[in-house]
Amino acid sequence: MTRPSEDDLVTGDFVRSYVITGGRRLPSPTDLSLHTLVTLAPDREPPRRASPEVRAIWDICAGGYLSVAEVAAHLGLPTAVARLLLTDLAEQGHLLRRAAPPPAQAVDRGTLEEVLHGLHALFG
């Protein structure tokens, strides 16, 4: 066992996540999925008594679209918690969001093979 002393480091997040959410219900992921892209609406001022997390979101999102997953990772918060904060901001009209870009369309295998053959013919 470690010897107790003042110098032992206490790790773990200092401010617990349920304090950040204020014990509120977490929103379901259907609205803001991991891939949903969000950014700040133009010409917005942060709420006057914004928490440090909200101010951090403000800084992170100011520069363009970021996915919800990225925002959560930058904040070092569980996605569900970041999602709650983002939902708040979206409800206050501070946030623009759009669905994730659709996955690339599956291209016909025959076409791809033709392209490959064409390339082989050109460059050996």
Partner 1 sequence: MTSLLRDPLLWILLVVLGAAVAAVTRARRTNMALRVQEDALRRELGAEKAGRALLREETAALEQRHREALAEVRQEAEEETKAVLKAAMRTLQVLADEQQLIIDRTQKNYGDDPGVVADLMEIDHANSQFNRRAQGIAVLCGGWLGRREHPASVFDVARSAQGRIRHFDRVEINAQVNVTVVSRAVEPLAVVLAELLANATNYSAPEMPVVVGIQAVPNGVCLIVDDYGVGMSQEEKDRAAALLSPQGPVDLLALGNPPKFGFAVSGVLAARYGFRVSVDTPSPYGGVRAVVLLPGDLLTADADADAPAGRAGAGAPAAGARIRDLAPAAPAVVPTAATRAVGTTAGGLPKRRRVAAERTPARTPRPDSGGPELPERHDHPAGDDSETTASRLGAFARGTARGRDTTISEGSEEQ
What are the residues binding partner 1 (CB under 8 A)?
A: 1-2, 4-23, 25-29, 34, 37, 39, 42, 51-53, 55-56, 59-60, 62-66, 72-83, 90, 96-99, 101
Q: How far is the CB of 47 from partner 1 (least distance, A)?
A: 14
In the complex, the smallest distance separating the C-beta of residue 8 from partner 1, rounded to whole angstroms, is 4
Nearer to partner 1, 60 or 88 (CB): 60
Cβ of 120: how many Cβ atoms within 10 Å?
9
50: nearest Cα among 59, 62, 63: 59
Q: How far apart are CA 110 and CA 105, in angstroms?
A: 15
Q: How many whole angstroms separate alpha carbon 64 and alpha carbon 73? A: 16
Shortest Å, Cβ 122 to partner 1: 27
